[in-house]
Amino acid sequence: MEKEKIKTYCKESAITCFICLLSSVTGFVFRYAGFPETNIVIIYLFGVVMTARLTNYLAFGVISSVMATFAFNYLFTKPIHTFAVSDPSYLITFAVMIFTAIATSTMTIRMKKSMEEARKREIEKNAYKEKSEREHYRGNILRAISHDLRTPLSGIMGTSEMIMDMSSKTEPRFELAKGIWKDADWLHTLVENILNMTRVEEGRLTIQKQPEVVDEIIENALEIIKKRAPEYDIQIELPDDILMVPMDAKLIIQVLVNLLDNAIKHSTVKQKITVTVEEKPKCAVFIVSDNGEGISEEDLPNIFEMFYTSRKNSADSKRGVGFGLPICDAIVKAHGGTINAENISEGGARFTFTLPLAADEGEVIQSE
């Protein structure tokens, strides 16, 4: 970096000296042609402007102004080839010349910087516009693909469920249909997350709040999870009294399903998974915890970022594309709540999110 600065200084010093020399040569031509001294002064002023235009530092414009004044005095005012001044009026001429040259140089530098800043802003504006158009185009494609996938996936899931109902659990086709259902269900969840992801990125994730019974929301989420992983025993801890919380039921169920699905991915069947709900003075607190492998310290700060997946590459690691937790983060924050993740000292991870208890019925919130 230091070498580049030195190289720039040397280059711009050479430009300053060359322009001053060129102005002096032009001055000699003008004097030989019989032009008055005022025309020679203009040539030097023009040289100062060109120096300011071709260099990047104000100092070179100032240096060029001083050099032009001294060069004009030495070469074109009597007594020639000395810095003495025979006519005192020349002192005023020199002072005006220096002032004019410095002012012109300063304005030229400022104008140049303003033009560069305007050009940068225009480039940034065009880049942002191009990026927005790409994101909008990508969002449209993702939405179209997701909507087109919903119908066949629902049909596959329904057909595989029907085959499982018609088959004994000991039959090979039962396990085959179960595998088909699980894969289709995973794709269906991915499709829902993609749709919500595009809404979040475009600021169109709309929250329709209604008072909902927390027990029913937890039950609906567990019903979905138990179809995916019936072998897991998930424990529930709810308040003794009925708890009503303003929320968009469908989206909060998706949050719980994503968090439970994440807990299942990083736990074994024998390890404990718990869903706890607590009522605080101003909010309801939802806690999904497990005694699985926990979250690495490297991953912990980034797990709510879009497309971020764990850096662990264990042989039994389960698939994930980094949609679930960012969608949870967006949905909870759109509700006016908070969400965080932490490791449990005895092993495992804990995800906690809050939802405000106070909201107007039917309140519609659009995320930014």
* 262-300: pLDDT as tens digits: 899 888 888 899 999 999 988 999 999 999 888 888 888
Between the alpha carbon of residue 292 and those of residues 98, 156, 235, 348, the distances in Å are 78, 32, 15, 4
Between the alpha carbon of residue 335 and those of residues 54, 249, 322, the distances in Å are 56, 11, 21
Question: Exposed, middle or buried by CB within 10 Å (0-12, 13-18, 19+), for 4?
Answer: exposed
What is residue 35's predicted lDDT score, i.e. its pLDDT? 80
Q: How far apart are CA 65 and CA 46, in angstroms?
A: 10
Evaluated on CA atoms 253, 362, 146, 330, the torsion sign reads negative
Beta strands in 53-114, from DSSP E residues, in sequence order = none
Q: What is the mean pLDDT of residues 220-235?
A: 88
pLDDT band for position 313 (cuts 50, 70, 90):
very low
Q: Say if residues 122 and 130 touch (Cβ distance below 8 Å).
A: no
Bond into 79 cis (ω within 30)? yes
pLDDT at 261 over 80: yes
pLDDT band for position 105 (cuts 50, 70, 90):
low
Of the given ranges (72-86, 244-258, 346-360), which has the lowest mean pLDDT? 72-86
Reported pTM:
0.55
